[in-house]
Structure formats: structure tokens, C-alpha cells
Amino acid sequence: MWETAIFFLFSGAAVWFGIQQNRRRRKGWEDAATAHGLQIVEASTGWLPELRARAGLVGVRIESFGDKGRLTRITVEGPVPPDFQSVKIRPEAMFQLGREIEIGDRYFDDTFFIEGPARLVFALLDGETRRLLAAVKEKGRLEIASGELRAVLSGDDKVAEVLPLLLEVRQRFAPPINVLQRLVENATEDPDPGVRLQNLLLLIRELSWSPETDGALRKACSDPVLEIRLRAARQLGAEAHGVLLELAENLEEDAVSAEALSILERELPFERVNAILGLAMRRRRLQTARVCLEAIGRRGAAAGVDLLVKVMEREHGELAPAAAKALGEIGNPAAEPSLIQALQRDDADVRVAAANALGRVGSAATVLPLKEAAERSRLDLELRRAARQAIAEIQSRLQGASPGQLSLAGAEAGQLSLAEAAEGQLSLTEDPAGQLSLGDDQ
């Protein structure tokens, strides 16, 4: 009897305490809502308190959430721009379904998984909006889906801090939104260079016809980030020739200078390319130096032979084979002795490049060194293939020879044979080196 009475007494006290606690929670929500210009529309206490408020077309719902209602969820809704229903922003997780968009802000991209129409997403997520969303994330769990902004908080003390952040984001998402204008602003004014670059690339990719895009490109040609200048100047073409030339010659970033030079190299005189090559080699800008070597090779100028030979003989790593390849492209026989000498280099890439080049510039005198190089490197299949191909190319150039006539296969060093010779042709047999024999019927 007494036990039952005590049970009901304590149960009633727990219910009363819970109701009072929920009333205090709801009162805190009401104070936060009214402090930010919202009008209370509906409020309930009970076991799971809930509050609804409005300010014009913007609606707010604050409610208990999660296990035993210990969490608080704030939902903000209102008018949205076209396609906003497809936008989803939620915490980044190891496994996500959908096509993720990365906007160029490393912290934001690592923190959130973003989906939706690319133009709209890039337009909406400017620097200030990203700051506000990151601030919400620091207080709780943020999610944007189905046109709503939601934040789940672990304590009611954070409601007063998070609610104004969500309302401000909601305001920044309110229509009408000039997507093109926002993309232009993000491409030229965003504080994060990665975001500026990604917005600029989006404009180039999808909105290159727009005069606004042209304006953004011209402004981006003065961006402090060299890669952004490069992308803008490349799109503008002849109008930004000076920007490309500056990027090619300043060598501040090797990859940028190399790409700028590759765009311009057909327009630059040999002397200027040579000057850039010298500076690139001194400063060890290897990508730019390689583009210079390739450009010299494509020009086919005899003036470049001595320069390329010097690079091939003195350099190691990627520049020596690049110089050998360029010598082959020039096709000047003057390079033959140096290329033959390069067949003895320790660097396998140089040997292969020299063999390939000799296929284009070599004479009959090159055949034996090629065969010897292949025999010295029996395990280097790439060199052996290059040597065979080079010999075949040399054969095809010999006056009066048919492909396959000149052969070193199966013969001692220095012997020549005419493969598949017609009856009566002169050949060197498997006899000792230097002997001549005629066919059995002669």
C-alpha cells in the first residue's frame, strides 16, 4: 500500500519535473525566436515540446529530437530559387551516394558532402555563406535538403546562437538570385583562390558565350594566383598574349610557365625560346625546359642542333632524353655522332630516345652501333625494339634498297646480308667475317 503510494508520488513528481523542464526549454526557444523578429505561431509542451514561428514567408520549427527528446532540431524553410530542392549539403562521411561537387574550398569540401545543380551550388556558396554554414557546423549537425535548412544541437543553450545563423543563410538563399552575376563575383572576389578558380572554370565551361564571363576573364588576368591568370589568359587567346608571355618567362611556378609556353611556342622566335630554356635550366624548372626542347625540335631549325646536343650530353634525368628526341624531330644528320655516343649512356631512357632519333637521322654507319647497343642490353626490351625499328627505318631510306634487304640478323658483327635475296644476288653467308660467297648455283 505505502509502496504503491510512494511509487505514484515519485512518478507524479517526475512527470511534473519533466513538464516544468520542457516549459523552460520552450520558453528559451520562444525568447530566441522573438529576439530575431519571429512571431510565435504555435507552441506545445508535453513530453516532446515543439515551437513554430514565422517572419513573413520564412517559417521556423524548433522541436525535441532524438533519443528521449534530448536533442534539439531547428528547421528553417521559405521561398527557394529554382532547382534548390535538388541541393543537398550534409556532413561528409566515408561512404556517400550521389555525385559530389567540390567548390574549391578545401576545408568546406572536406567537411561537407555537396550535391545539386553545379551552377546554383557554386553561385550560392560564396565566402560569407560558407562561413555561416561552417559556424553552424561547429555548434551541431547541419543539413540542407528538400529546400530546408536543419541543425541538430546537443543542448538548448546553443539555440540562441544557431538560429540567427540559419536565418541569415536562409536570407542569402532567398530568390531572386542572379546565378551568372554571383558566379562572376565568386570567380573574381572570393577570398579562397580555389573557389575563384573553380567558379572561373565553370564560367569557361558552361557560360563562355556571356559578356559577363569575358569581363570575369579579363579581371582574372590580374589575379595574384598564377594558375587563375593562366586559365583566364588561355581562354581569352590573342587578347591576353602579354599575360601568357609574362607567365612563360617569370618561371615562378614551373607547371604554369610550361603550359603558358606550350600555348605560345609557335609564336615565339627561336632566340626567345632559347633564352627561356637557358633560364629554366639554371633555375631547374624542368617542365618548362622540356617544353622548350620540344619546341626547338618541332621547329626543325639547324641552329638548334648544337644546343640540343649540349643538353643531351650534359644533362641527366628527363631533359637528356627530351633533347635526344628533339634531335630526331629536327632530322639533321649533324646530330648522328652524338646520338651514337648516347647509345652508351647509363641512362636507359637516353639510350632509347637516341635509338629512336637515329631511326630518323642515322645513315648506314649507324646500323652496327644500334645492333651493339641492343646486344649490350639484352634485358632492355624497349631498347631492343627501338634499335630494330631504327634499323628498319634506315634500311627504308637507303637508295635502291627494299624494306628488309639490309639485315644484321644471324650474322657476325660487321657482316651484311640481303634478306630473301633473289637468285644471283651477292650476300654474306655464315662464313667467317669478311668472306663473300655466291649462291650454290653460281
Locus of grid cell 634500311: 395
At 409 the pLDDT is 41
Contacts of 235 (CB under 8 A, 6+ apart): 204, 208, 217
Mean pLDDT over each residue of the chain, to the nearest integer: 85
Distance between CA atoms of residues 217 and 196, nearest Å? 11
Convert the pLDDT of each residue in 11-66 to its tens digit: 444 444 445 566 788 888 999 999 999 999 998 876 688 999 999 999 999 998 87
Predicted model pTM: 0.80
Contacts of 397 (CB under 8 A, 6+ apart): none
Contact between residue 366 and residue 390 where contact means Cβ atoms under 8 Å apart: yes
Q: By C-alpha distance, which of 126, 116, 130, 129 is closest to 83?
A: 116
Distance between CA atoms of residues 388 and 407, nearest Å? 10
pLDDT (mean) for 68-90: 92
Q: Is 283 helix (H, G, I), strand (E, B) or coil?
A: coil
Convert the pLDDT of each residue in 217-261 to its tens digit: 999 999 999 999 999 999 999 999 999 999 999 999 999 999 999
Convert the pLDDT of each residue in 328-344 to its tens digit: 999 899 999 999 999 99
